[in-house]
Structure 1
């Protein structure tokens, strides 16, 4: 199974970008750890360069990653420029990055743009955590912390951001994300949660998906809808 290294930017004495009492270090720790919990549900191992509001140097971050072998290194950030001037998301790879880095960056960027963030594109940069890490690496800037519109999206669509990032990361490592539908009320009054893992016009394809889910330990069956 895949092993990932998650890096939550700044922390401790380094708050990162700040605006109206809001800290980048807090935002990325919160959202990043939630994404980690989501992907871990699928058996993916996630190690974190920090798990609290602690000061971690750039060297400590890259050294942490270099001590192990990871499939990907993902650094979470929020941008800053001038109050209410810039907005949007951008995802970075190192200069002349490997195909795997570019592929993951593209998936992450697409997932966030789909939620309403302005698309600032996939870019290259000579950042320490991209340059000094061994695994294919990306750094994502989840909107501008000094833009009220981006903050509104970050807060109101928190669950969608977590889900979108998790889906993008899982897709890159070859794991299918399983959608959980809204709860329905059973006749007995008990709330049930139905899990959807795809809809198929060909029964054979549906049967293959059920077999795949069962082999992964999920209880699955075919339900017919007209």
Structure 2
């Protein structure tokens, strides 16, 4: 199975940019962890690079473990003196048209899910202040560096902190699409998406046939069904969720915290919910 390597920028004790009471290192770790969880929920083989490594050690760590068909991305947050500068950008090795197309794919996948994030486009690594990027040039497998906005921008910072799940989903979408594309280039078969057993859902006596799924034995319902239970989606913002075929699902049992009665009818494979 092809793998995705995801690295949070800095590490090894380097906080990176500091602004708004937080650090680049902290925000990238939280976002990386959320993206890894999202990708694993889809059945993707994703590897999180240890945070104790320097850039040089990160590159070596990936090179030792990577193989044909794998891809690697490192995420950062930018910083400038002008606090009004905003937006995400992605860097690829200069002169590689194929990698530029991949960069566009990853960036657009993120922006599609986080529409409030401005785009600063795809850029060759030679356009950076240092002239080139080690992560783009020294990693053996296809690799890119993505700036998820500016930590020094109050708007970008607030968006990253309040829409972490959306950033994770956008990253997962982009990396899944890029990984599939790279696997096909290498003549490899990308892994099929994970499938889940289908179940029915009954909410306040309304039956929805084959609309739920079983995730590791847990009955899960589409998040959009929360409206039928008169639950504000913001109340479940921090609940674990699974994305399957472009829909978000939440474990039914978790809704007990919101005064929802949960029952399971085994013969009909139906989860029954009602507001208390």
> Same fold per TM (> 0.5)?
yes
My pick for the range that moved more, 166-175 or 25-34, is 166-175
- Structure 2 residue aligned with 1:153: 159
- TM-score if structure 1 supplies the norm length? 0.74
Give the conservation status (yes or no) of the 8 Å contact 2:35–2:169: yes
- Structure 1 residue aligned with 2:117: 117
Does residue 60 of structure 1 match 2:57?
yes
Give the conservation status (yes or no) of the 8 Å contact 1:103–1:172: no
SS at match of 1:67: helix
- Structure 2 residue aligned with 1:7: 7
Give the conservation status (yes or no) of the 8 Å contact 2:6–2:47: yes
My pick for the range that moved more, 186-195 or 71-80, is 186-195
Does residue 30 of structure 1 match 2:36?
no
- Structure 1 residue aligned with 2:139: 133
Tell me the alpha carbon deviations over residues 75-98 of structure 1, each in whole angstroms, 9 at most, x when there is no partner: 011110115131100011112236
- TM-score if structure 2 supplies the norm length? 0.62
Bigger radius of gyration, 1 or 2?
2
Q: Residue 43 of structure 1: CA displacement?
A: 2.8
Q: Residue 189 of structure 1: CA displacement?
A: 9.4
Q: Residue 22 of structure 1: CA displacement?
A: 1.0
Counterpart CA distance in 2 for 1:83 and 1:3 is 38
Q: Aligned match of 1:107 in 99, 105, 113?
A: 105
CA distance 1:44–1:112, shift in 2 (3 Å): closer
The number of equivalent residue pairs is 189
Q: Residue 192 of structure 1: CA displacement?
A: 5.4
- Structure 1 residue aligned with 2:252: none
Structure 1, unaligned runs of 5 or more: 179-183, 199-226
Tell me the alpha carbon deviations over residues 123-174 of structure 1, each in whole angstroms, 9 at most, x when there is no partner: 0111111111011111110010000011121122221111111111112233
Q: Which has the higher strand share?
A: 2
CA distance 1:146–1:177, shift in 2 (3 Å): farther
CA distance 1:62–1:156, shift in 2 (3 Å): same
Give the conservation status (yes or no) of the 8 Å contact 2:35–2:172: yes
SS at match of 1:28: helix
